[in-house]
Structure 1
Amino acid sequence: MAKKNLLELKKALEEEREALLKGAIESVLRTASYKARLVEKIREEGLSEEDRPLLEEILRLNERNKALIEAGLSFVEEAFHILSRAMQPEITYGGETREARLISKEA
């Protein structure tokens, strides 16, 4: 039984990758929920030594998807910082907007 769920998890990770590349957030969220249920089933069933190669492949796929998610998050954070800076007025002489005053005639 664990093998069937491991194969389903592998398929879910491949689908998640496609959704990540397409930017299909709703699909990514659905897949995340499904993956969590599969992992719980696998945990309940237990793994055998013959499941190890498939499990290692699943771990590699999961790491690949994690890297895609981190890259996407980094892009969103950078875009947020750029937009935040663009929305803030540039202040050159401090926050007070009083009239300019002559401080010294010698300067």
Structure 2
Amino acid sequence: MTLENSLMSSAQRYAKGLGGLFAMVLLAGCSSAPNEAAAPKPPTVEQTAPVAQACDANAVQYAIGAPFDEANVATLEEQSGATQVRVLRPGTAATMDYRDDRLNIHLESNDMIEALRCG
């Protein structure tokens, strides 16, 4: 056996050993079963949060075209059944999240009420 053949076979043996070790590590990671005792139980009806009262924008449509001031926010909130009010002026950035219990008051540039929507 020449030195070149001896080195080649050593390298091949080393590569095969690493390949086998790699395969064992992969299989060991796949073989463990999940611990079912650690998983949380799904919520029951008693554990869920209460459903918020939905907003009714139809009840306040009379205010469209009226001038807006901070004093009528409480009135619009109460009459619509909303638990939160958001005032949106032209060019105002707003999140796109939908909230069943929120009244959105859309204003024109002259602070006149343009639209009243829930969401």
TM superposition score category, shorter chain reference = 0.3 to 0.5
Structure with bigger gyration radius: 2
More strand by share: 2
More helix by share: 1
What is the TM-score when the length of structure 2 is the normalising length? 0.34
What is the TM-score when the length of structure 1 is the normalising length? 0.37
